[in-house]
Structure 1
Amino acid sequence: MEATTLRPRMLTAGDTVAIVSPASWPEESVPGWIAQRVEAWGLQVVIAPHALDHRGYLAGSDGDRAADLNDAIRDPEIRAVIASVGGCGSFRIVPDIDIDALRADPKVLVGYSDITALHQVWNTAGVPVLHGAIAGAHGDHVRRLLMEDADTVVDADAGALSAELTTAGSAEGPLFGGNLEMLARSVGVVDFNLSGGIFLLEINRAAGLGMVDRALTQLRYSGTLDGIAGVALGSIDQFAGYEDRGWTIVDTLRDHFDALGVPVLGGLPLGHIEDLVTVPLGTRAVLDVDHGRLTVSSPSEG
């Protein structure tokens, strides 16, 4: 797999960013809070018309959520898109995204968790994304990724649960991946494989170890993980203290990682944690397992 080729231009003061809700609806204050943070960077913000709609756990109908996202993609004034929240529902609008418009005018999509389904569409289009959010202690790093030619350096925490899966060695290649559940669900729907790339994996405890096992098995047996160069493993702390008939999340993951036979760096502050680090996906990365560091190239061009 090659790195994404359609790098968006770097944002400058006065550019406009759209806040959309392509999955679940956020708390009412969230879009305004995001807007306030982004405007403090010198950018302008538009909040999509259906960002606060409610339809069960979805932010409005599939058609309205897709329309909000496509409008942002097609609007030449909008230079980046931020998902207000994850939750559920991104997968439902995958077929409706205007890939041709995205290729014609590349712009970054910021989000994680359920937004991983949409990140695969951006990947298909050849456009990088940002896996993360502007919340937490590292929120300002999103500004640097959007407005500066900034690389991302992520140091592993040797005390984190996922650090128990760290091996040795190093790997280099484009960084792809995201939420395990959404990646597995994308098999057969979005045409993607990770050959030659570094597999970023984050797992929240939405279900038991059996679901983790099934998802990884699907990715392996479908050929999606054939030829990957390494694994960058985010937080699995939600599974701390959880066992299923004598096995832990570490046992389940080690079984699959051993079968892949590639360098694994765990302990990375990525995924469902309070102070997550935002990283680009689709750009070149270096996984230095021996020194506990992941370095990812800038998603933008000056």
Structure 2
Amino acid sequence: MRKLPKRLKRGDTVGVIAPSSPPDQENLRKALPFLEELGLKIKLGKSIDASRGYLAGTDEERLDDLHAMFEDPEVAGIICAGGGYGSARFADRIDYAMIMENPKVFWGYSDITFLHTAIGEYAEMVTFHGPMLASDVAKPEFHERSARMFGQLFEPFELHYTEEVAPLETLVGGVAKGELVGGNLSLIRSAVGTKFDLDVKGKILLIEAINLEPYEVDETLNQLRLARKFDEAAGIVIGDFKNAVSPQDTPSLTLDQVFADYFSELKIPVVKGFKIGHCEPHFSVPLGALARLDGDAKTLTILPGVQ
């Protein structure tokens, strides 16, 4: 059972960092008032405006920011400004023992999936898969429901996902219970064969992606199949797969056909259509928290991610 970070309260300070690519600075400035409206104070990472090609500064700078925010007793939580690429580059140098001694809210998704997996495995802490500041909160399409999902950081409550949020489709029925793990499909795949390989045994696997054509989703799912991830998982939650289309006039399977090929014959519950990922609204979830997936009723229930 992973450790739950302490809930946030009004007046707390949250650290804002960019562990991956450089966030759009104008969008970041637009998003910061959202945190203030939640009653939070803000401390920006030293490398929040740094840039080294497609990275938000050097690996050392981004790692230092991550460490500094976890070590700082005045910082109650950490919110990622954006994703992109790069968090895996320093994952093997993170001080997980220090993080374990300083559990606090850690929030982000997409490329941050690698950090969710690493922190969950080696610091044994629940983390949060949710929208980020510059890449989501600042956008005009940021949904009211997405904003409300931040409320789970302030008060422990169960999350109940039903078709009231969006239509769901059951590929395989049944009921599964276990820790909810996973996130971005590409980042899950990139860890296969490393010390950060996602442990899915007896757990409910969440997958989502953006800008992958059906053949790329197929290729990635096949690698996970060969790595026996689907044999080990207790259930599968298929989130949003934004822009998962092939160019016109290119022969292709549909995304639904790809999912059917890999999941329809499994003996575990598999449900698709969850608004989790690069979408609006974005239903935020605590990774590592205990969950129950009911493929027959088409519901996902998740225990609180804070204490």
CA 1:169/1:158 → structure 2, altered by over 3 Å: closer, same or farther? Answer: farther
- Structure 2 contact 286–305 (Cα < 8 Å) conserved: yes
CA 1:300/1:230 → structure 2, altered by over 3 Å: closer, same or farther? Answer: same
Matched, 1:233 2:231: no
Aligned to 1:146: 153
| Superposition pairs of residues 12-27 of structure 1, within 5 angstroms | 12-27=9-24
| Superposition pairs of residues 158-197 of structure 1, within 5 angstroms | 163=168, 166-189=171-194, 190-197=196-203
SS at match of 1:239: coil
CA 1:67/1:187 → structure 2, altered by over 3 Å: closer, same or farther? Answer: same
Aligned to 1:250: 256
Q: Give the superposition deviation at 1:210.
A: 2.9
Q: Give the superposition deviation at 1:212.
A: 1.6
Q: Give the superposition deviation at 1:255.
A: 1.3
Q: Give the superposition deviation at 1:230.
A: 0.9
| Superposition pairs of residues 86-105 of structure 1, within 5 angstroms | 86-105=83-102
Letter matched to residue 296 of structure 1: I
1:210 and 1:259 mapped to 2: Cα distance?
Answer: 20
Matched, 1:155 2:162: yes
SS at match of 1:201: strand
Q: Give the superposition deviation at 1:85.
A: 0.7
Aligned to 1:221: 226
1:185 and 1:208 mapped to 2: Cα distance?
Answer: 17
Letter matched to residue 179 of structure 1: N
Unaligned runs of 5+ residues in structure 2 are none
2:165 and 2:170 mapped to 1: Cα distance?
Answer: 10
Letter matched to residue 66 of structure 1: L
- Structure 2 contact 173–268 (Cα < 8 Å) conserved: no
| Range with bigger deviation, 142-151 or 54-63 | 142-151
Q: What TM-score comes out, normalization by structure 2 length?
A: 0.89
Aligned to 1:277: 283
CA 1:145/1:260 → structure 2, altered by over 3 Å: closer, same or farther? Answer: same
Aligned to 2:25: 28
2:198 and 2:246 mapped to 1: Cα distance?
Answer: 34
SS at match of 2:24: coil
From 268, 292, 306, the counterpart of 1:286? 292
| Range with bigger deviation, 249-258 or 178-187 | 249-258
1:246 and 1:36 mapped to 2: Cα distance?
Answer: 44
Q: Give the superposition deviation at 1:56.
A: 1.2
Aligned to 1:68: 65
SS at match of 1:250: helix
Matched, 1:51 2:53: no
Q: Give the superposition deviation at 1:25.
A: 1.0
Q: Give the superposition deviation at 1:273.
A: 0.9
1:169 and 1:71 mapped to 2: Cα distance?
Answer: 44
CA 1:158/1:257 → structure 2, altered by over 3 Å: closer, same or farther? Answer: farther
CA 1:165/1:246 → structure 2, altered by over 3 Å: closer, same or farther? Answer: farther
| Range with bigger deviation, 29-38 or 109-118 | 29-38
Aligned to 1:265: 271
How many corresponding residue pairs?
A: 295
From 259, 280, 298, the counterpart of 2:304? 298
Percent identical among aligned pairs is 32
Unaligned runs of 5+ residues in structure 1 are none
User: How large is the Cα RMSD of the aligned pairs?
Assistant: 2.1
SS at match of 2:276: coil
SS at match of 1:49: coil
| Range with bigger deviation, 116-125 or 134-143 | 134-143
Letter matched to residue 221 of structure 1: L
- Structure 1 contact 151–295 (Cα < 8 Å) conserved: yes
CA 1:117/1:250 → structure 2, altered by over 3 Å: closer, same or farther? Answer: same
Letter matched to residue 191 of structure 2: S
